[in-house]
Protein backbone atom coordinates (compact mmCIF):
# COMPACT_ATOMS: atom_id res chain seq x y z
CA UNK A 1 0.00 0.00 0.00
CA UNK A 2 1.17 3.47 -0.73
CA UNK A 3 2.37 4.97 2.57
CA UNK A 4 2.59 8.50 1.11
CA UNK A 5 -1.19 8.82 1.12
CA UNK A 6 -1.62 7.97 4.83
CA UNK A 7 -0.48 10.13 7.72
CA UNK A 8 0.46 8.09 10.77
CA UNK A 9 -2.10 8.68 13.53
CA UNK A 10 -0.70 9.01 17.00
CA UNK A 11 -3.93 8.09 18.75
CA UNK A 12 -3.84 4.68 17.04
CA UNK A 13 -0.20 4.14 18.00
CA UNK A 14 0.77 4.03 14.34
CA UNK A 15 4.47 3.33 13.86
CA UNK A 16 4.80 1.50 10.57
CA UNK A 17 7.56 -1.06 10.10
CA UNK A 18 9.78 -0.07 7.21
CA UNK A 19 13.01 -2.03 7.82
CA UNK A 20 13.01 -4.88 5.29
CA UNK A 21 15.50 -6.94 7.31
CA UNK A 22 13.30 -6.78 10.43
CA UNK A 23 10.16 -7.59 8.41
CA UNK A 24 11.94 -10.65 6.95
CA UNK A 25 13.09 -11.62 10.45
CA UNK A 26 9.51 -11.47 11.78
CA UNK A 27 8.19 -13.56 8.91
CA UNK A 28 10.90 -16.12 9.61
CA UNK A 29 9.85 -16.24 13.28
CA UNK A 30 6.23 -16.68 12.21
CA UNK A 31 7.11 -19.45 9.72
CA UNK A 32 3.57 -19.55 8.31
CA UNK A 33 2.22 -22.84 6.96
CA UNK A 34 -0.40 -22.70 4.18
CA UNK A 35 -3.15 -24.09 6.41
CA UNK A 36 -2.52 -21.66 9.30
CA UNK A 37 -5.42 -19.51 10.48
CA UNK A 38 -3.60 -16.22 11.02
CA UNK A 39 -5.22 -13.22 12.67
CA UNK A 40 -3.26 -9.99 12.39
CA UNK A 41 -3.97 -7.20 14.85
CA UNK A 42 -3.42 -3.76 13.29
CA UNK A 43 -2.26 -4.49 9.72
CA UNK A 44 -1.67 -0.77 9.15
CA UNK A 45 -0.23 -0.26 5.68
CA UNK A 46 0.62 -3.93 5.38
CA UNK A 47 4.31 -4.26 6.28
CA UNK A 48 3.62 -7.84 7.43
CA UNK A 49 0.25 -8.37 5.73
CA UNK A 50 1.35 -7.84 2.12
CA UNK A 51 4.24 -10.34 2.16
CA UNK A 52 1.92 -12.89 3.79
CA UNK A 53 -0.69 -12.33 1.06
CA UNK A 54 2.06 -12.69 -1.55
CA UNK A 55 2.83 -16.09 -0.04
CA UNK A 56 -0.78 -17.11 -0.62
CA UNK A 57 -1.90 -16.94 3.03
CA UNK A 58 -5.52 -16.39 4.08
CA UNK A 59 -5.76 -13.74 6.80
CA UNK A 60 -8.14 -12.16 9.27
CA UNK A 61 -7.29 -8.51 9.93
CA UNK A 62 -8.45 -6.59 12.99
CA UNK A 63 -8.07 -2.84 12.42
CA UNK A 64 -9.55 0.15 14.22
CA UNK A 65 -8.58 2.99 11.85
CA UNK A 66 -11.50 3.36 9.41
CA UNK A 67 -9.35 4.72 6.61
CA UNK A 68 -7.10 1.68 6.78
CA UNK A 69 -10.13 -0.61 7.00
CA UNK A 70 -11.40 0.93 3.73
CA UNK A 71 -8.04 0.32 2.09
CA UNK A 72 -8.06 -3.33 3.11
CA UNK A 73 -11.61 -3.72 1.86
CA UNK A 74 -10.45 -2.59 -1.57
CA UNK A 75 -7.44 -4.93 -1.66
CA UNK A 76 -7.61 -7.30 -4.66
CA UNK A 77 -7.11 -10.48 -2.56
CA UNK A 78 -10.61 -10.17 -0.98
CA UNK A 79 -11.21 -13.93 -1.24
CA UNK A 80 -8.34 -14.44 1.24
CA UNK A 81 -9.11 -11.55 3.59
CA UNK A 82 -11.60 -11.10 6.40
CA UNK A 83 -11.54 -7.58 7.80
CA UNK A 84 -12.80 -7.03 11.35
CA UNK A 85 -13.26 -3.24 11.72
CA UNK A 86 -13.10 -3.11 15.49
CA UNK A 87 -11.10 -2.21 18.57
CA UNK A 88 -9.24 -5.47 19.29
CA UNK A 89 -10.05 -5.06 23.00
CA UNK A 90 -13.75 -5.55 22.17
CA UNK A 91 -13.24 -8.50 19.82
CA UNK A 92 -14.70 -11.77 21.05
CA UNK A 93 -11.98 -14.23 20.11
CA UNK A 94 -14.36 -17.16 20.66
CA UNK A 95 -15.79 -16.43 17.17
CA UNK A 96 -12.57 -17.68 15.55
CA UNK A 97 -12.85 -21.28 16.74
CA UNK A 98 -9.66 -23.15 17.59
CA UNK A 99 -5.96 -23.19 16.81
CA UNK A 100 -5.64 -19.68 15.43
CA UNK A 101 -2.31 -17.88 15.34
CA UNK A 102 -2.04 -14.21 16.32
CA UNK A 103 0.36 -11.72 14.83
CA UNK A 104 0.69 -8.06 15.67
CA UNK A 105 3.01 -5.11 15.75
CA UNK A 106 0.84 -3.73 18.51
CA UNK A 107 0.01 -0.16 19.41
CA UNK A 108 1.86 0.12 22.70
CA UNK A 109 -0.97 1.75 24.64
CA UNK A 110 -3.15 -1.36 24.32
CA UNK A 111 -0.56 -4.10 24.68
CA UNK A 112 -1.02 -4.87 28.38
CA UNK A 113 -4.85 -4.80 28.30
CA UNK A 114 -4.74 -6.97 25.17
CA UNK A 115 -2.57 -9.58 26.90
CA UNK A 116 -5.12 -9.79 29.73
CA UNK A 117 -8.00 -9.84 27.20
CA UNK A 118 -6.44 -12.91 25.56
CA UNK A 119 -6.11 -14.94 28.77
CA UNK A 120 -9.64 -16.42 28.71
CA UNK A 121 -9.05 -17.54 25.10
CA UNK A 122 -5.61 -19.03 25.67
CA UNK A 123 -6.77 -22.62 25.13
CA UNK A 124 -8.09 -21.82 21.64
CA UNK A 125 -4.91 -20.05 20.59
CA UNK A 126 -2.05 -21.89 18.88
CA UNK A 127 0.48 -19.14 19.43
CA UNK A 128 0.96 -15.38 19.32
CA UNK A 129 3.86 -13.37 17.93
CA UNK A 130 3.81 -9.76 19.07
CA UNK A 131 5.98 -6.69 18.75
CA UNK A 132 5.79 -4.84 22.06
CA UNK A 133 7.64 -2.16 23.89
CA UNK A 134 10.87 -3.89 25.00
CA UNK A 135 10.15 -2.92 28.60
CA UNK A 136 6.88 -4.91 28.49
CA UNK A 137 8.63 -7.94 27.01
CA UNK A 138 11.20 -7.74 29.83
CA UNK A 139 8.35 -7.77 32.35
CA UNK A 140 6.61 -10.70 30.65
CA UNK A 141 9.63 -12.98 30.85
CA UNK A 142 11.00 -11.70 34.18
CA UNK A 143 12.04 -14.14 36.91
CA UNK A 144 11.33 -13.64 40.64
CA UNK A 145 13.73 -11.37 42.54
CA UNK A 146 14.15 -8.96 39.65
CA UNK A 147 12.75 -5.44 39.37
CA UNK A 148 10.78 -6.35 36.20
CA UNK A 149 8.89 -9.16 37.96
CA UNK A 150 5.32 -8.24 38.83
CA UNK A 151 1.63 -8.93 38.30
CA UNK A 152 2.02 -9.04 34.49
CA UNK A 153 4.84 -11.62 34.74
CA UNK A 154 3.02 -13.93 37.16
CA UNK A 155 -0.39 -13.87 35.47
CA UNK A 156 0.94 -14.27 31.93
CA UNK A 157 3.48 -16.93 32.97
CA UNK A 158 0.64 -18.92 34.53
CA UNK A 159 -1.13 -19.10 31.16
CA UNK A 160 1.68 -19.01 28.60
CA UNK A 161 5.20 -20.13 27.77
CA UNK A 162 6.90 -16.95 26.64
CA UNK A 163 10.09 -16.28 24.79
CA UNK A 164 11.70 -12.90 24.13
CA UNK A 165 12.92 -12.77 20.55
CA UNK A 166 14.33 -10.15 18.19
CA UNK A 167 15.01 -6.67 19.59
CA UNK A 168 13.96 -3.85 17.29
CA UNK A 169 15.35 -0.29 17.38
CA UNK A 170 13.16 2.81 16.82
CA UNK A 171 14.70 3.43 13.36
CA UNK A 172 12.96 0.32 12.02
CA UNK A 173 9.66 2.25 12.08
CA UNK A 174 8.20 5.33 10.42
CA UNK A 175 7.67 7.46 12.41
CA UNK A 176 10.14 6.08 14.98
CA UNK A 177 8.71 5.46 18.47
CA UNK A 178 10.52 6.89 21.51
CA UNK A 179 11.29 3.46 22.96
CA UNK A 180 12.96 0.20 21.97
CA UNK A 181 10.76 -2.69 20.89
CA UNK A 182 11.07 -6.46 20.97
CA UNK A 183 9.26 -9.48 19.63
CA UNK A 184 7.79 -12.02 22.01
CA UNK A 185 6.20 -15.39 21.34
CA UNK A 186 3.41 -16.73 23.57
CA UNK A 187 2.39 -20.40 23.51
CA UNK A 188 -0.50 -21.40 25.78
CA UNK A 189 0.41 -23.83 28.56
CA UNK A 190 -1.46 -27.12 28.69
CA UNK A 191 -3.27 -27.74 32.00
CA UNK A 192 -0.59 -30.19 33.20
CA UNK A 193 2.12 -27.59 32.51
CA UNK A 194 0.63 -25.12 35.01
CA UNK A 195 0.71 -25.35 38.80
CA UNK A 196 -2.72 -26.38 40.00
CA UNK A 197 -4.83 -23.47 41.22
CA UNK A 198 -7.84 -21.36 40.36
CA UNK A 199 -6.79 -18.50 38.03
CA UNK A 200 -9.38 -16.11 39.46
CA UNK A 201 -8.13 -16.66 43.02
CA UNK A 202 -4.56 -16.41 41.74
CA UNK A 203 -5.31 -13.11 40.05
CA UNK A 204 -6.78 -11.69 43.29
CA UNK A 205 -3.89 -12.66 45.52
CA UNK A 206 -1.30 -11.49 43.00
CA UNK A 207 -2.99 -8.08 42.64
CA UNK A 208 -3.20 -7.70 46.41
CA UNK A 209 0.39 -8.82 47.05
CA UNK A 210 1.82 -6.46 44.42
CA UNK A 211 -0.40 -3.52 45.47
CA UNK A 212 2.60 -2.30 47.48
CA UNK A 213 5.51 -4.21 46.08
CA UNK A 214 8.12 -2.94 48.54
CA UNK A 215 6.15 -4.11 51.57
CA UNK A 216 6.27 -7.48 53.28
CA UNK A 217 3.53 -10.00 52.55
CA UNK A 218 2.63 -9.87 56.26
CA UNK A 219 1.48 -6.32 55.68
CA UNK A 220 0.06 -6.44 52.09
CA UNK A 221 -1.91 -9.64 52.79
CA UNK A 222 -2.89 -8.74 56.35
CA UNK A 223 -6.23 -10.27 57.37
CA UNK A 224 -6.58 -12.31 54.17
CA UNK A 225 -5.20 -15.65 55.38
CA UNK A 226 -6.44 -18.07 58.03
CA UNK A 227 -4.70 -17.77 61.42
CA UNK A 228 -2.21 -20.58 60.74
CA UNK A 229 -1.86 -19.50 57.08
CA UNK A 230 1.83 -18.72 56.89
CA UNK A 231 2.98 -21.71 58.94
CA UNK A 232 0.80 -24.11 56.98
CA UNK A 233 2.15 -22.77 53.69
CA UNK A 234 5.76 -22.67 54.75
CA UNK A 235 6.11 -19.17 53.28
CA UNK A 236 7.93 -16.55 55.34
CA UNK A 237 5.57 -13.54 55.76
CA UNK A 238 8.58 -11.24 55.84
CA UNK A 239 9.17 -11.87 52.16
CA UNK A 240 8.00 -9.43 49.50
CA UNK A 241 5.70 -10.29 46.58
CA UNK A 242 8.54 -9.94 44.09
CA UNK A 243 10.37 -12.93 45.64
CA UNK A 244 7.50 -15.41 45.24
CA UNK A 245 7.48 -17.99 42.45
CA UNK A 246 4.37 -18.76 40.43
CA UNK A 247 4.02 -22.02 42.38
CA UNK A 248 4.11 -20.13 45.70
CA UNK A 249 1.48 -17.64 44.51
CA UNK A 250 -0.68 -20.61 43.51
CA UNK A 251 -0.31 -22.11 47.00
CA UNK A 252 -1.23 -18.75 48.55
CA UNK A 253 -4.30 -18.40 46.31
CA UNK A 254 -5.77 -21.58 47.82
CA UNK A 255 -6.06 -20.08 51.31
CA UNK A 256 -6.48 -16.41 50.39
CA UNK A 257 -9.70 -14.61 51.29
CA UNK A 258 -9.94 -11.30 49.46
CA UNK A 259 -10.42 -8.38 51.87
CA UNK A 260 -13.92 -6.89 51.93
CA UNK A 261 -14.27 -3.40 50.43
N1 LIG B 1 1.30 -3.80 11.23
C2 LIG B 1 1.68 -2.48 10.76
C3 LIG B 1 3.19 -2.39 10.68
O4 LIG B 1 3.85 -3.27 11.26
O5 LIG B 1 3.69 -1.46 10.05
C6 LIG B 1 1.11 -1.38 11.66
C7 LIG B 1 1.53 -1.40 13.11
S8 LIG B 1 1.04 0.01 14.03
C9 LIG B 1 2.24 -0.06 15.34
C10 LIG B 1 -0.42 -0.46 14.94
C11 LIG B 1 -1.66 -0.75 14.09
O12 LIG B 1 -2.75 -1.10 14.97
C13 LIG B 1 -2.17 0.42 13.27
O14 LIG B 1 -2.59 -0.03 12.02
C15 LIG B 1 -3.36 0.95 14.08
O16 LIG B 1 -4.31 1.66 13.32
C17 LIG B 1 -3.91 -0.33 14.66
N18 LIG B 1 -4.68 -0.16 15.92
C19 LIG B 1 -4.48 0.78 16.88
N20 LIG B 1 -5.30 0.59 17.92
C21 LIG B 1 -6.04 -0.51 17.62
C22 LIG B 1 -7.07 -1.22 18.30
N23 LIG B 1 -7.48 -0.84 19.51
N24 LIG B 1 -7.62 -2.30 17.70
C25 LIG B 1 -7.18 -2.70 16.46
N26 LIG B 1 -6.20 -2.07 15.78
C27 LIG B 1 -5.64 -1.00 16.35
Predicted-complex ipTM score: 0.99
Phi-psi region of 91 (alpha: psi -120 to 50; beta: other; left: phi over 0): beta
What CATH number does the domain containing 84 carry? 3.40.50.150
Pairing of strands 16-17, 173-174: antiparallel
| Residues 132, 214 within the same domain | no
In a domain, 8, yes or no: no
| Residues 161, 214 within the same domain | no
For ligand 1, whether the C-beta of 19 sits within 6 Å is no
Ligand 1 centre to CA of 106 (Å) is 6
In a domain, 243, yes or no: yes
Give 14's contacts (C-beta < 8 A, 6+ positions apart). Answer: 8, 44, 65, 107
For ligand 1, whether the C-beta of 83 sits within 6 Å is no
Nearest CA to ligand 1 atom 18: 42
Query: In this predicted model, what pLDDT tens digit does every residue of 10-36 receive, in sequence order?
Result: 889 999 999 999 999 999 999 999 999
Pairing of strands 100-105, 125-133: parallel
Query: Which domain range does residue 229 map to?
Result: 199-255
Query: Which atom of ligand 1 lies at the shortest distance from residue 44's CA?
Result: 14
Query: In this predicted model, what pLDDT tens digit does every residue of 127-169 receive, in sequence order?
Result: 999 999 999 999 999 999 999 999 999 999 999 999 999 999 9
Q: What is the four-CA torsion angle of 53, 162, 160, 48, rounded to 10 degrees?
A: -10
Query: In this predicted model, what pLDDT tens digit does every residue of 199-245 receive, in sequence order?
Result: 999 999 999 999 998 999 999 999 888 877 888 889 999 999 999 99
For residue 196, what are the CA distances in angstroms to 158, 206, 218? 10, 15, 24
| Residues 162, 238 within the same domain | no
| Residues 139, 158 within the same domain | yes
Whole-prediction pTM value?
Answer: 0.95
| Residues 59, 145 within the same domain | yes
| Residues 28, 117 within the same domain | yes
What CATH number does the domain containing 206 carry? 1.10.8.100
| Residues 90, 173 within the same domain | yes
In a domain, 7, yes or no: no
Query: In this predicted model, what pLDDT tens digit does every residue of 66-86 receive, in sequence order?
Result: 999 999 999 999 999 999 999
Q: What is the DSSP letter of 188?
A: E
Q: What is the four-CA torsion angle of 63, 128, 13, 90, rounded to 10 degrees?
A: 50
Query: Which atom of ligand 1 lies at the shortest distance from residue 42's CA?
Result: 12
Ligand 1 centre to CA of 120 (Å) is 22
Average confidence score pLDDT of the chain = 94
CB 165 within 8 A of CB 185: yes
CB 236 within 8 A of CB 248: no
Give 204's contacts (C-beta < 8 A, 6+ positions apart). Answer: 253, 256, 258
Amino acid sequence: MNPSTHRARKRFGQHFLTDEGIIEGILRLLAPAPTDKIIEIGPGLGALTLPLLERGMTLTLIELDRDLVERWRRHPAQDRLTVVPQDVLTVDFAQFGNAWRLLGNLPYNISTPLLFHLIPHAAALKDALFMLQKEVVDRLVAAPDTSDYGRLSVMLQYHFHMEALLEVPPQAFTPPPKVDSAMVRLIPKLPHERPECNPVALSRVVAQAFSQRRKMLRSTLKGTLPADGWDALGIDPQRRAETLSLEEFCQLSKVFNAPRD
